[in-house]
Amino acid sequence: MTETHFKGWAKPGPLPPGVAEGMAPDADETLDAISGHFRLFQLREGHRFSTDDILTAWYGTSWCPTAATALDLGSGIGTVSSIVAWRLTGAKLVTVEAQERSLALARKSARYNGLEARVDIRAGDFREPGILADNERFDLITGSPPYFPAGSGVESEHPQKLACRFELRGTIADYCSTAARHLARGGFFACVFPAEPAQRARVDAGARAAGLVIVRVRPVVFREGDPPMIALFGMMRATDLPEGFRGRTWTEPDLIIRARDGSIHPEYSAVKLAIGFPP
């Protein structure tokens, strides 16, 4: 996953009314700003939220802004779901995560932010029968999947980091097939994945096999002038689209994170503002 650009946002201010008090990070944790008054507990040396997570939540809520129900697959420490909950104030959320330490952090953050009544945090592999009921449907589904097959690179000894980079519990095709089964009529699936051709081909194949149409793509450039490293994908079920639109994908202009001089690009400043941070 992409290295975070948010390491300096780790100084939470006063708690607003209704938010849990008396909760502090353990010695191996930090408590970091995430959206508005929401805060996120993270391990100091484990997986920490990244640009990928931020963009996935922003993209999904931007193109499905009236979602009443949302699902986050492979939800980790709860980054995406926290932003979704902040942006979609009336929505109910379900998250699915297999790693116990990540689950503990996500539950701690939900309690701290007063989200326990809105977020159903489930333990398990989203591919397992029973984790999601057959009849459960969601207006918005999000996913920030790992990028690399197991054994295809240098693997971290830290279990959190390992599972976030390598496909230990599902590929992009598994994310697509699960999303297709649980999207409500007209629902939107937002995910992030590498933009280089071989990886993009995996997204295309996964969507096609699941009966999804990639309706829009937003390439992401981390430094102005460089080629896109990742892309944001928006998908819908083919059966929910008019026949004439089922083979069409709208490629949006590149989203640039940093300008040539290393400063935050104005458009990315707007993204930060939209998820509850000053530009």
pLDDT in tens, 47-70: 899 999 999 999 999 999 999 999
42 located within any domain = no
Half-sphere exposure of residue 158: CA atoms within 13 angstroms, side-chain side: 12
63 located within any domain = yes
233 located within any domain = yes
Q: CB–CB of 93/57 below 8 Å?
A: no
Length of the chain: 279
CA proximity to 60, closest of 259, 233, 185? 233
Mean of all residue pLDDT scores within the chain? 88
Locus of tokens 């689950």 = 103
62 located within any domain = yes
| Number of domain units in the chain | 1
Domain with 221, as residue range(s), is 51-274
14 located within any domain = no
| Structure tokens given for 32 | 């970091």
Q: Which domain CATH number covers 137?
A: 3.40.50.150
179 located within any domain = yes
Q: CB–CB of 183/237 below 8 Å?
A: yes
44 located within any domain = no
133 located within any domain = yes
- SS3 label, residue 65: coil
Instruction: Output the DSSP codes for 106-119.
Output: HHHHHHHTT-TTTE
Per-residue pLDDT tens for 89-125?
999 999 999 999 999 999 999 999 999 999 999 999 9
163 vs 17 pLDDT, higher one: 163
CA 152 and chain centroid, separation:
23
Q: pLDDT at position 247, please? A: 74
Locus of tokens 């330490």 = 101
CA 16 and chain centroid, separation:
25
What's the CA gap between 260 and 77, in Å, rounded? 32
Per-residue pLDDT tens for 168-211?
668 999 999 999 999 999 999 999 999 999 999 999 999 999 99
